[in-house]
Amino acid sequence: MNKLTVKDVEVGGKRVLVRVDFNVPLDEATGAITDDSRIRATLPTINYLIDRKARVILCSHLGRPKGKVVEKLRLAPVAQRLSQILGQKVEVTPDCIGPEVEKAIEKLKPSDVLLLENIRFHPEEEANDASFAQALARLANVYVNDAFGASHRAHASIVGVAKYLPAVAGLLVEKEINILEGILAHPAHPFAELAGGAKVSDKISILENIMDKVDCLLIGGGMAATFLKAKSYEVGLSLMEDDKPDFAAKLIRDAAQRGVRLMLPVDVVVANKLSAGAEVKVVSVKSIPPDWRIVDIGPRTISNFSKELQRCKTIFWNGPMGMYEIPQFAQGTQAMARLLAGLEATTIIGGGSTAEVVTEMKLVDRMTFVSTGGGASLRFLSGETLPGVEVLLDRKG
């Protein structure tokens, strides 16, 4: 990585604003943190700063509150977990900017750690508003980006703030970039991308780019419906982005032109409702009933995908194969996780929900690398730069 890191700047006694990605999954019913991997992944940076007697000001988003205060998305449980792990008190400020925050920061002693309240409670964060970024910058002397998972977002706390402070990478960002760069430099072929998750619109340009890198592209999960629709299959009530089949059709054509093998489900699990206890059946993609929706890939698809992946030497997996949150619909996702864990290939798991599944199944150690970023790792591997890394100070020479 050609960027300066936290180790290249003076931090002792300084107020250091660290953008982290504490966007952890929460239990619907209890609000408890179900996977704290993203918190643990930032410990090298936080401990480094504590050891060097910096005043540590952490800042993160949680969920998508869309610029408003959402009680369920307050960072108190995150602070509590971090404080348990660190063995020192971590307070949360009532807001992320303003006089009260400034007061709390004035009181910080060397090696203290403070967490600012959910940055996305302010609409200015996602709008990358300049005065909001300046207000954040005024809180500190140095800015560290350690939020790898959010580095593809050009938001105020990721991109904006870096204009007003010396801005360097945290140790997690450094590690993620170095590992992913290494894989990208000389990937062993065949190289496969196994893509899933719900939204095509989030990923369309990335999928386009990644076709320059991979030999095969396997598509499951929610986005498969849009591709099936593009091939004129009926997809019943499956979640669909209505304006996207054209993109999907273009992607299918591009793949053919470039000699990339694009594989779609041949059978799917469909359900009559989206909850546990739903009626489910396996059908061919040619006969998806009108009042049902796709919730997982089917057994023939699992077998086709498995055969293809078994001959690959590098596999990047991003996005679940179905609505894995409901155990009944998790079989395709779990089958892919087990398969990848057993392969000799280089296996990279792209963050968010895919990493959660792999963590829950205790397969992390059997993958080559589990990234804390979903969209971020996908974008990086497609060859695009990450705005939140771009803005950091360059390493000279």
Q: What is the DSSP letter of 397?
A: -
The least distance separating ligand 3PG from the CB of residue 63, rounded to whole angstroms, comes to 7
Residue 203 in the binding site for ligand 3PG (CB under 6 A): no
> 362 vs 211, 314, 366, CA distance in Å?
31, 21, 9
Residue 374 in the binding site for Mg ion (CB under 5 A): yes
Residue 374 in the binding site for ligand 3PG (CB under 6 A): yes
Of 130-138, 145-153, 213-221, 252-260, which part binds ligand 3PG (CB under 6 A)?
A: 145-153
> 204 vs 193, 223, 244, 249, CA distance in Å?
13, 10, 9, 11
397 a catalytic residue: no
**Residue number with the shortest CB distance to ligand 3PG?**
23
Of 45-53, 146-154, 156-164, 174-182, which part binds ligand 3PG (CB under 6 A)?
A: 146-154
Residue 197 in the binding site for Mg ion (CB under 5 A): no
148 vs 305 by CB, closer to ligand 3PG: 148
Q: For ligand 3PG, which residue of 8, 32, 34, 64 counts as binding (CB under 6 A)?
A: 64
Q: Which residue in 332, 373, 375, 388 is the catalytic one?
A: 375
Contact partner at residue 150 from ligand 3PG, Mg ion, none, CB < 5 to 8 Å by partner kind:
ligand 3PG
307 a catalytic residue: no
**CA 40, 42, 47, 53 torsion: positive or negative?**
negative
Contact partner at residue 64 from ligand 3PG, Mg ion, none, CB < 5 to 8 Å by partner kind:
ligand 3PG
- Whether 184 and 382 have beta carbons less than 8 Å apart is answered as no
Contact partner at residue 281 from Mg ion, ligand 3PG, none, CB < 5 to 8 Å by partner kind:
none
Residue 101-130 contact track with ligand 3PG, rule CB under 6 A, x = bound: ------------------------------
Residues 6+ away with beta carbon under 8 Å from 307: none
Copy the structure tokens of residue 254: 């591009």
Contact partner at residue 338 from ligand 3PG, Mg ion, none, CB < 5 to 8 Å by partner kind:
none
Chain-centroid distance, C-alpha 193: 16
Pairing of strands 280-284, 113-115: unpaired
Which of 43, 1, 53, 2 is CA-nearest to residue 20?
A: 43
Copy the structure tokens of residue 294: 């796709």
The least distance separating ligand 3PG from the CB of residue 126, rounded to whole angstroms, comes to 8
Q: Which residue in 7, 53, 138, 199 is the catalytic one?
A: 199
Q: For ligand 3PG, which residue of 23, 314, 331, 334 counts as binding (CB under 6 A)?
A: 23
The least distance separating ligand 3PG from the CB of residue 67, rounded to whole angstroms, comes to 13
Contact partner at residue 319 from Mg ion, ligand 3PG, none, CB < 5 to 8 Å by partner kind:
none
Q: For ligand 3PG, which residue of 65, 77, 149, 332 counts as binding (CB under 6 A)?
A: 149
- Whether 369 and 348 have beta carbons less than 8 Å apart is answered as yes
Residue 319-358 contact track with Mg ion, rule CB under 5 A, x = bound: ---------------------------------x------
298 vs 352 by CB, closer to Mg ion: 352
98 a catalytic residue: no
23 vs 334 by CB, closer to ligand 3PG: 23
Backbone φ, ψ for residue 67 (5° rounding): 80, 10
Scanning the structure block, which residue is given the tokens 């009559």? 272
38 a catalytic residue: yes
Q: For ligand 3PG, which residue of 65, 170, 375, 388 counts as binding (CB under 6 A)?
A: 375
* CB neighbours of residue 384 within 10 Å: 14
Scanning the structure block, which residue is given the tokens 């397969």? 363
160 vs 374 by CB, closer to Mg ion: 374
- Whether 25 and 38 have beta carbons less than 8 Å apart is answered as no
Give, for 283, the enclosing helix (H) or strand (E): strand 280-284
Give, for 17, the enclosing helix (H) or strand (E): strand 15-19
- Whether 218 and 305 have beta carbons less than 8 Å apart is answered as yes
In 3-state terms, what secondary structure has residue 61?
coil
Distance in angstroms (rounded) separating the CA atoms of residues 30 and 37? 19
Quote the radius of gyration of the chain (alpha carbons, Å).
Answer: 22
* CB neighbours of residue 278 within 10 Å: 17
Which residues are catalytic, by number? 38, 199, 352, 375
Query: Where along the sequence are the contacts to Mg ion (CB under 5 A)?
Result: 352, 374
Query: Where along the sequence are the contacts to ligand 3PG (CB under 6 A)?
Result: 21, 23, 64, 149-150, 153, 352, 374-375
